[in-house]
Chain A
Amino acid sequence: MSTNVFYDHFERHSHGQGLKGHSTHYCAGCGHGIVHRSLAEVIGELGVQDRTVLISPVGCSVFAHYYFDVGNSQAAHGRAPAVALGHKLANPGAIVISYQGDGDLASIGLAETISIAQMGLPITVVFVNNAIYGMTGGQLAPTSLMGQKTATSVEGRTPAMGRPLKMAELMAQLDGPVYVERVALFDARQRMKARKALRKALQLQIEGRGYAFIEVLAECPTHLKMSPEHAEAWVREEMVPVFPLGTKKDLTVEPWFHPAAPSFEPEKILGLSGAEPVEVNKEPPIPHIPGLEDICLKLAGAGGDGAQTAALLLARAAIAEGYDATHIPSYGPESRGGTSYADVHIAAGEVLNPAAAEPDILVAFNAPSLAKFAGSVPPGGLILYDSTVITTPPEVPSDRRVLGVPFTQLAREISRPMVKNVVALGALQAATGLLPPERILSTLRQLLKDKPSMLPVNETAFLAGQRAVESMVAVP
């Protein structure tokens, strides 16, 4: 029987001075000490001392790191399973044990307890249930018995304080855990069963088979205000009827936990980085609208009009052309069908202010957007709108250009109403000369490289928009 998983000298317990170097901070007869001894023995027997990380959250066992000669992490109240998961994911080879009391596991940390159990990753949760808060001095625990008198249930626990939470049963009905057992410490037989359960739980983790939960009914003689002998009897006679002992769940699962090692291959990361590299025009950029060093656009419509896609396409095309460009989307709260506005800046140098409070160019896909933003377009600006859905031109001073193009109708004519945003881009290009058409088309091709079947329709839409404008007005 090996107990060498404990430190030879408890340096962390009051600097190991005097008796504290060899005795625990637990009260006489406390169940924690027995669980500690069993756990230490089992870790030693299974040969995993050099792989074990023990998580000790707030509660009497917060100082478990005084004693266990393994990797130790002390956690916030209730959060031990989350910390344990963080360790397991960082180092899947580690044997991670979350050692928690009843307040920690079944009260403040209930969400972590359940959600992390449901993930089913192979970690071991040891739940020491002594039906009372120890560290804070004998208050009501989520597992206190009905009628039990504590510092905060002075006349005894009533239903209004909640009923005792049967954690092992609760955990067993979850799909995540593979093994759930409730054990006790009140006699030699129970202690042997407890040790066996702890060993099995760790073994399931070592073999990568899954999550295990061991609830230990333990004695807190101090706060039960009983001798250890009476506390043992109390657990046996009072707790066990409420918290029946035994295996609650025991699945046969093949080892499955074999996570891949993290990859640091540059090509792989670049390939996944969410955007295609842009082939930037190395020639110095020439502004296509003379006199404007920074062109500011607003594309506005309803969700589904394609304002954001058109805006992003414009920004990418501008960057590829050698300009600086930005795009900021703004949405209403609806996931679909709400307002959708896009601010775009294209600058020969650096975009200073990316907002489009006073857009040089407004592209409006519907009447509310036109009404909202037409007034913000400064003198000399352009208002381009979908004349299919907006039948009345906006009333603006005559020093603003106003151009209605039937985006929707033109898109319908090529049987794809959804490409009205590309029609709008064609119209915009023809009306302003903003960016060479070939640059917009090449950016379009790049964006659609995974959907090549959509390309002809989009190219047709762009040309249709261009032609519509060219037939209506002389290009400035």
Chain B
Amino acid sequence: MSNLPPSRPKPFLEPAYCKGCLRCIEACPRECITPGTEINPVTGLVPVILHLENCNGCTLCVQACPEPFGLRIDPTHGGLEGEFRLEDPEKLFGKKIVEVLTTGDLPDTQIPLPDCEPLVLKGTYASAVGALLAGCRHVYGYPITPSTEGAELMAKMLPKLGGSWIQAVSEVAAVNMMYGTGGAGLPVMTFTSSPGFSLMLEGISYMIGAEVPGVFVNIMRGGPGLGNIAPEQTDIKLACRGLGHGNTHALVFAPSTPQEMLDLTIDAFALSFRYRNPVVVLGDGYLGQMTGVVKLPSHLLKPGLPAWAVWGDRAHRHNLVNSIHLSEPDLEAHNENLNAKYAAMGACQQRSDLYRCEDAEVLVVACNTPARMAKGAVEVARSRGIKAGLFRPITLWPFPIGALKELLPQVTQIVVVEASPGQLEDELRLALSHADVATPPITHVRRFGGILPQQSEILARIEETQGALV
């Protein structure tokens, strides 16, 4: 140490930035630092005192200081920069693997798809193909029946498309991988089923809190607990009202055909990025397995990179994906922003499908596969002279109350059909209550345990309502 040039710069300390931990004292071989004796009036702490007569600029004290603005090299002294100048990193490590972007916001690109005959696909496959067309190349998940085929198809295709399928150690890990890739600004998704979705809820709350996009395809199965692998609709409550802790909401889609599995998965990605929020696609076990005809869209999407992405390059360096806001006013303001977003989703994203509702007096409300049984029942009821119609919510959150409200004046009876003990009806009643409209009598057909309401029992209930009215 003694042969170091005498001109070597010496440390300095702004006393207010010293917490008086004294770790530098032990570090200094020349005993240049002593404990302070005076309380600093700004901090209330006792900073150390430097006696630099013997200092040879070894910087060991600086390396011992835990505070970034604590002990530092005297910036007025200069000289060090030259001695420690680095080689060009490219020369040392080769060219960077991925070119860093120079603009903050890189737009998406629409690539035309050639005209193509329709595909015959099962629901989970249709969703997977939809995700690929929406530009998703990152899929993380954990095998769980009856959603696994979607993941299996991705595992087969993604390696050939320069994408990543990761079978995570658990759904908990999978959702946090989504948090990473979504936070980096790229489309990301998972396929899961009810017990797995439960495990992901904490991560979904973090994604909502940190405003990270991502698509969750949940092929619902029988519950609670391990339940069974047959279709149910008993995650409606979780998706609409229980996305983890805190003030959370996400768009919840309820497809009822393989075609909608594809279409709504594509829309889910777009809306996930528009709102910087997760989107849930709720299917049921039947729909996941059901094969049907699927037409492809005219374009596929090559995703760009949003300005907010944590990509790590200079253009995005200041970005932060974060859900911790220690100051109460900050967290309240953050929640106000989230609420404004939820309100915008509620106003702009209600979707429903109306089948023979034009003069319907008996309105059947159903979604997913049970909506198809209900459609069959409505058709037969019509053939028997009953003015029945099917109101099918495509978004469960927000509930499409706007379209429903318009039908209500003519409706004398609502029949809610669901594979759950009333979770859809709860959403309906809550929406009606918030809308503050007079509610017609509501009856229902509810099956669960993996059994779907059958067309015959729906028809019987529709006919019963007629009996009651006569």
Residues of A within 8 A of B (CB): 1-3, 6, 12, 14-15, 19, 22-24, 26-34, 36-38, 40, 45-53, 55, 62-63, 65, 67, 69-76, 79, 82-96, 111-112, 114-116, 119, 187-188, 191-192, 195, 203, 206-208, 221, 227-229, 232, 257-264, 266-270, 272-280, 312, 315-316, 319, 324-330, 333, 351-355, 357-358
Tell me the complex Cα distance, A95–B185, Å. 16
Q: Is B30 an interface residue (CB 8 A)?
A: no
B180 near A82 with CB under 8 A, answer yes
B327: nearest chain-A partner, CB-CB: A14
B98 near A277 with CB under 8 A, answer no
B138 near A89 with CB under 8 A, answer yes
Residues of B within 8 A of A267 (CB): 114
A82 near B177 with CB under 8 A, answer yes
Partner of A50, one of B59, B301, B313, B456: B313
Given the known A-B contacts A26-B66, A86-B177, A268-B161, are A275 and B23 also in contact in the complex, defined by CB atoms under 8 Å?
no
What are the interface flags for B100-121 relative to A under an 8 Å C-beta threshold, 1 for contact and 0 otherwise?
A: 1000000001011110111111
Residues of B within 8 A of A36 (CB): 66, 68
Residues of B within 8 A of A330 (CB): 230, 289
Q: A82-B173, A232-B23 are in contact. List 13 more A-B contacts (CB 8 A).
A: A1-B73, A50-B100, A65-B320, A94-B312, A112-B176, A188-B27, A208-B97, A266-B112, A278-B118, A278-B293, A326-B291, A330-B289, A355-B454
Residues of A within 8 A of B176 (CB): 75-76, 79, 82-83, 86, 112
B17 near A19 with CB under 8 A, answer yes
Residues of A within 8 A of B316 (CB): 71
A293: nearest chain-B partner, CB-CB: B379
Tell me the complex Cα distance, A439–B451, Å. 34
Q: Is B125 an interface residue (CB 8 A)?
A: yes
Tell me the complex Cα distance, A409–B242, Å. 56
- DSSP class of B's interface residues: helix, strand, loop or mixed? mixed
Interface residues on B, range: 35 or more
A56: nearest chain-B partner, CB-CB: B322
B455 near A353 with CB under 8 A, answer yes
Residues of A within 8 A of B66 (CB): 24, 26, 28-34, 36-37
Residues of B within 8 A of A319 (CB): 118, 120, 293
B173 near A23 with CB under 8 A, answer no
CB-contacts of B15-51 with A (<8 A) = 16-17, 19-23, 26-27, 29, 42-43, 45
Tell me the complex Cα distance, A268–B27, Å. 62
Tell me the complex Cα distance, A33–B88, Å. 28
Residues of A within 8 A of B64 (CB): 34, 188, 191
Tell me the complex Cα distance, A47–B91, Å. 11
Task: For the complex formed, measure the closest distance between the CB of A235 and the CB atoms of chain B, giving whole angstroms.
Answer: 12
Q: Is B196 an interface residue (CB 8 A)?
A: no
A274 near B168 with CB under 8 A, answer no
Q: Is B249 an interface residue (CB 8 A)?
A: no
B118 near A79 with CB under 8 A, answer no
Q: Is B183 an interface residue (CB 8 A)?
A: yes
Residues of B within 8 A of A279 (CB): 117
Tell me the complex Cα distance, A262–B109, Å. 14
B20 near A28 with CB under 8 A, answer yes
Partner of B181, one of A34, A37, A89, A276: A89
Given the known A-B contacts A1-B80, A69-B317, are A228 and B21 also in contact in the complex, defined by CB atoms under 8 Å?
yes
Partner of A277, one of B65, B94, B116, B160: B116
Partner of B22, one of A83, A229, A352: A229
Given the known A-B contacts A33-B65, A37-B66, A94-B312, are A221 and B321 also in contact in the complex, defined by CB atoms under 8 Å?
no
Residues of A within 8 A of B161 (CB): 262-263, 268-269, 272
Q: Is B462 an interface residue (CB 8 A)?
A: no
Task: For the complex formed, measure the closest distance between the CB of A122 and the CB atoms of chain B, giving whole angstroms.
Answer: 10
Residues of A within 8 A of B312 (CB): 50-53, 70-71, 87, 91, 93-96
Q: Is B203 an interface residue (CB 8 A)?
A: yes
| Listed A/B pairs (12) with beta-carbon separation below 8 Å | A33-B68, A36-B68, A72-B319, A73-B310, A82-B174, A87-B181, A92-B98, A112-B169, A269-B161, A274-B128, A315-B291, A327-B291
Residues of B within 8 A of A227 (CB): 22
Tell me the complex Cα distance, A358–B454, Å. 10
Q: Is B188 an interface residue (CB 8 A)?
A: yes
Given the known A-B contacts A37-B65, A264-B302, A269-B132, are A85 and B180 also in contact in the complex, defined by CB atoms under 8 Å?
yes
Tell me the complex Cα distance, A266–B45, Å. 65
Given the known A-B contacts A14-B327, A263-B162, are A83 and B177 also in contact in the complex, defined by CB atoms under 8 Å?
yes
B43 near A87 with CB under 8 A, answer no
- Pick the 6 closest A-B CB pairs, nearest first: A86-B180, A33-B66, A353-B376, A29-B21, A47-B89, A93-B98
Given the known A-B contacts A79-B179, A270-B114, are A89 and B203 also in contact in the complex, defined by CB atoms under 8 Å?
no
The stretch among B341-349, B367-375, B426-434 that forms the contact with chain A is B367-375
A187 near B113 with CB under 8 A, answer no
Tell me the complex Cα distance, A276–B300, Å. 18
Task: For the complex formed, measure the closest distance between the CB of B174 and the CB atoms of chain A, giving whole angstroms.
Answer: 8
Residues of B within 8 A of A29 (CB): 19, 21-23, 66
Residues of A within 8 A of B168 (CB): 82, 115
Task: For the complex formed, measure the closest distance between the CB of A59 and the CB atoms of chain B, giving whole angstroms.
Answer: 12
Residue of A84, A352, A358 ringed by the most chain B CB atoms within 10 A: A352
What are the interface flags for B155-172 relative to A under an 8 Å C-beta threshold, 1 for contact and 0 otherwise?
A: 011001111101011101
Residues of A within 8 A of B128 (CB): 274
Residues of B within 8 A of A115 (CB): 168-169, 173
Tell me the complex Cα distance, A72–B20, Å. 29
Partner of A273, one of B29, B132, B184, B323: B132
Tell me the complex Cα distance, A71–B316, Å. 7
